[in-house]
Amino acid sequence: MIIGDITFIKSIFMISLKDKKVAILTENGFEESELTSPKKALEDAGADVDIVSLQDKVKGWNHDHWSKKLFTTVNLKNAKPGEYDALMIPGGVINPDAMRRQKEYVDFATEFMLGGKPVAAICHGPQLLIETGLLHGKEMTSFYSIKTDLINAGAIWKDEEVVTDNGLVTSRSPKDLPAFNEKMIEEFAEGIHSTADVFVPTH
């Protein structure tokens, strides 16, 4: 067995998220695999996972058409960031843009960033994090079409399958989900990485 295989097994099968509570923050239009795959990986690792949204049900998007609907576990109006250990943000063209325009979603995500709690965002998901004003100097990746947006927000953009910076985990697209899920679990298991003084607001 090669070292890479050993690392993968350790990450997925030996790291436990038991007693960890994770919020998946989403609106309608999330890319289906970018929610369902991380959710399954988190639950398989033992995490308690809530789908958090202002909607009672959220409708997914699968490549070029609408897909399944998922019930929201906790309405965002009743969700408290302090009750969660980590945040996961799925992508999709529609979902992050809808969230970034609503103060409730931005405020929820901001609390995790300020508290140094681990955050994982894939594809277009980092669009929401731009609105927190807390990305200056952070190494990140994303779907290529929002590269300039992230750079303008102060992030250091990299074209890699997964980029980690002090508890912030980002990936480019569904093809990166295996690496994304692995690193997400590692970072979520580590818990709080830094406090607010590490982040430099850009607005």
* Residue linked to tokens 């103060």: 103
Catalytic-labelled residue, pool 123, 136, 193, 203: 123
User: How far apart are alpha carbons 167 and 12 in whole angstroms?
Assistant: 17
Residues 18, 128, 183: CA angle, nearest 5 degrees: 35
> What one-letter code names the amino acid at 107?
D
Residue 63 is a catalytic residue: no
| 8 Å CB contact between 50 and 64 | no
| 8 Å CB contact between 83 and 52 | no
Catalytic-labelled residue, pool 65, 124, 193, 203: 124
Secondary-structure breakdown of the chain: helix, strand, coil percentages, each rounded to the nearest 5: 40, 25, 35
Tokens of 200: 């430099």
Residues classed as catalytic: 123-124
